[in-house]
Amino acid sequence: MDIKTKLNIVLYEPEIPQNTGNIVRLAACTNCDVYLVGKLGFSIDSRHLKRAGLDYWDSVNIERVENLEDLWVKFPQSRFYYLTTKTKNLYTDANFKDGDFLVFGPETRGLPEKLLNDQAQYALTIPMKDGQRSLNLSNSVAIVVYEALRQIGV
């Protein structure tokens, strides 16, 4: 199956190289672009990062971006969804479209609260059992990317 849809995965200040490597591999398999935003919690040359992404690095468009505002300016007509544990809006209730941006926060703290408050209508969550903090970042990205592809009809 050839996936022609283009989704965009945005990792805001990711901290764990293995997660980012896994997400790059997912992006290669699902035709997604990856944007690494802000301060990274690892070196881009990390052996853990490269190992987790295996030989998929050349199959993915990866861009470093200083801040989210730069993406908003570069893609003014695009929709941005913000994944968080701090909303009741389910990711399955979103109406994903080709070209959407899926924004995920750092593993230990998530996206900034001000951003989530300012973009509340675009904040989405993956349901979890009460009392649990969060899912693994690469698992969360995979769940949402595949739901978006399902909705789009891939």
Q: Tell me whether residue 122 is in a domain.
A: yes
Q: Tell me whether residue 40 is in a domain.
A: yes
- pLDDT digit string (tens) for 94-114? 999 999 999 999 999 999 999
Asked whether residue 53 carries a pLDDT value surpassing 80, the answer given is no
Number of structural domains the chain divides into: 1
Q: Tell me whether residue 87 is in a domain.
A: yes
Q: What pLDDT sits at residue 1?
A: 61
Q: What pLDDT sits at residue 49?
A: 56
Residues 104, 108, 125, CA angle at the centre, nearest 5°? 40
Give the mean pLDDT of 123-140.
Answer: 94
Q: What pLDDT sits at residue 21?
A: 87
Q: Tell me whether residue 120 is in a domain.
A: yes
Host domain of residue 61: 8-152
Q: What pLDDT sits at residue 44?
A: 73
Q: Tell me whether residue 1 is in a domain.
A: no
CATH number at 50 reads 3.40.1280.10
Q: What pLDDT sits at residue 154?
A: 80
Give the mean pLDDT of 6-32.
Answer: 93
Q: Tell me whether residue 53 is in a domain.
A: yes
Q: Tell me whether residue 3 is in a domain.
A: no
Q: Tell me whether residue 2 is in a domain.
A: no
Tabulate helix, strand, coil % of the chain (nearest 5): 40, 15, 45
Q: What pLDDT sits at residue 132?
A: 87
> DSSP state, 111?
S
